[in-house]
Amino acid sequence: MEVLYKSTRGDQKAVKASEAILKGLADDGGLYVPTRIPALDQTWEAFARMDYAQVAYEVMKLFLTDYTEAELKDCIARAYDSKFDSNEIAPLVKAGNAYYLELFHGATIAFKDMALSILPHLMTTAAKKNGIENEIVILTATSGDTGKAALAGFADVAGTRIIVFYPKNGVSPIQERQMVTQKGDNTFVVGIHGNFDDAQTGVKKLFADVRLKQKLDAGGFQFSSANSINIGRLVPQIVYYVYAYAGLLRNGRIADGEQINLVVPTGNFGNILAAYYAKRMGLPVGRLLCASNENKVLFDFFRSGTYDRNREFILTSSPSMDILISSNLERLIYRLTGEDAAKNKAFMEQLGAAGSYTITDDMKKELEIFYGGYADREKTVRQIRAVYHDSGYVLDPHTAVASAVYTDYREETGDDRTTVIASTASPYKFTRSVMDAIAPDHASTDDFALADALAGLCGAAIPKAVTEIRNAPVLHDNLCEKEEMADMVCRFLGIKD
């Protein structure tokens, strides 16, 4: 049965999956959501016998119904290959009383690789299916990880160009170096003077700029997105939660149908929304733990029902979560309104005008599956240190936030269900924060020397993603004000007024 996609804000013209992936954002500014959530059609016993690529096909075929079996399997085969340094793609590792789902074994050592390895293939296949002749321009804002993963995925992909905006001084040194050393004639990286929300808001304005869209079309270009607002990013993220459950069952850690808890470090709400969709498809989930850092806009939302971005923006040791406008939450709000686009649009307009909105009591009842928690910088450091001392396992700061929230949740509720924590980045991506926690007496000030020191402590090889940028030349040194983003796009594309 075909699954179509419609906007969360009122444009009720349903489009096919390939069209939604190509557009990224709906014309009315809304996000594409499936007209129905399909149910998983394999038994857990069957899933337990599958490798990652097989699970990916069985999940994604249910959402991407206008892709043929051959097309989808080809995209999956191109995505989940030797780029990953683990044959399991997303291995589960037991440490303490939780399982860590390691989502950082791809080319850029962050969870964004899990979806951005396949998105370019989904998109170029979609362009062929829909007779698109324009060159596709991927326009993306990043808080650190999406940018490099998108650049790596789209670099030198025929028929595409990619432009990434990131907050200058708002990402880790290694995150920045990964981006500014990116090769590929079709890549363009720009640091903006502002924070991630400024970059993300600026990108949304560019998508909504009718005059710019006309100029692009005249030049033979059209925008699409690699951010998690693109449904082609969200669907592949569902896969690894299903795969994790199947792995627990295969290894005798749970019984068939037994509920598990999922803990997700959260900024833009895409990764935990994928877990929520997985539950709606039939994944046996007890609670979804939404873990925030000091910015804690989502923690406050789950506790009060009020989403309020009117607060100080805090730069933390977990920069990929330094977000005050969680774009993917709109998809959940749309669901909570009973898929009433007018009501959802009103909430989003309140957020734009006043910076906040409050959901109804009936909507709040639908949030009972979620548990909101947060960890500040000090608690994050303590968690990295504690897990390392107790088990020898090294967490990056984002995963440490989730681990700390799980510790609080377990103490608060006594819930001892089997729990999977999404481990979203390699500790080698945040060597300074990690080494400050586990070896605070280190003397090094260089992030690459810190990587060497970390390798000496944990006895693991430094990932290729770090070694290959150690001496790589800077290829992108572009900076702009947030008001100049459109000019930078036109400059890269060679478009003139």
Which of the residues are catalytic?
112
**What distance in Å separates the CA atoms of residue 255 and residue 204, rounded to the nearest whole number?**
45
CB atoms within 10 A of CB 205: 15
- For 34: left if phi > 0, alpha if psi spans -120 to 50, otherwise beta; the answer is beta
Q: What angle do CA 275, 333, 246 make, to 5 degrees?
A: 10
* Bridge pairing between strands 370-374 and 221-224: unpaired
Distance CA 421, CA 99 (A): 6
Instruction: Report how far residue 127's alpha carbon sits from residue 218's, in angstroms, rounded to the nearest whole number.
Output: 18
**Is the separation of the CB atoms in 173 and 451 below 8 Å?**
no
The SS3 assignment for 336 reads helix
d(CA 236, CA 59): 8
Beta-bridge partners for 111: none
**Amino acid (1-letter code) at residue 200:** Q
Strand 285-292 and strand 370-374: the pairing is parallel
Residue 269's identity, in one-letter code, is: F
Computed from CA positions of residues 108, 113, 118, 124, in that sequence, does the dihedral angle turn out positive or negative?
Answer: negative
103 has which bridge partners?
Answer: none
Long-range contacts of 53-59 (CB under 8 A, 24+ apart): 53/77, 53/80, 53/89, 55/239, 55/242, 55/243, 55/246, 56/80, 56/118, 56/236, 56/239, 56/243, 59/235, 59/238, 59/239, 59/242, 59/281
The token pair at 495 is: 């478009």
Q: Please choose, from the candidates 143, 148, 166, 139, the residue with its C-alpha nearest in 3D space to the C-alpha of residue 106.
A: 148
Residue spans of alpha helices (H) in 191-263? 196-208, 210-218, 231-250
What is each CA distance from 243 to 25, 56, 91, 246, 381, in whole angstroms?
Answer: 28, 8, 9, 5, 30
User: Residue 16 and residue 37: Cα distance in Å, rounded?
Assistant: 14
Amino acid at 339: E
Nearest to 164 by CA among 113, 90, 226, 207: 226
What does residue 377 show for φ and ψ, rounded to 5 degrees?
-60, -45
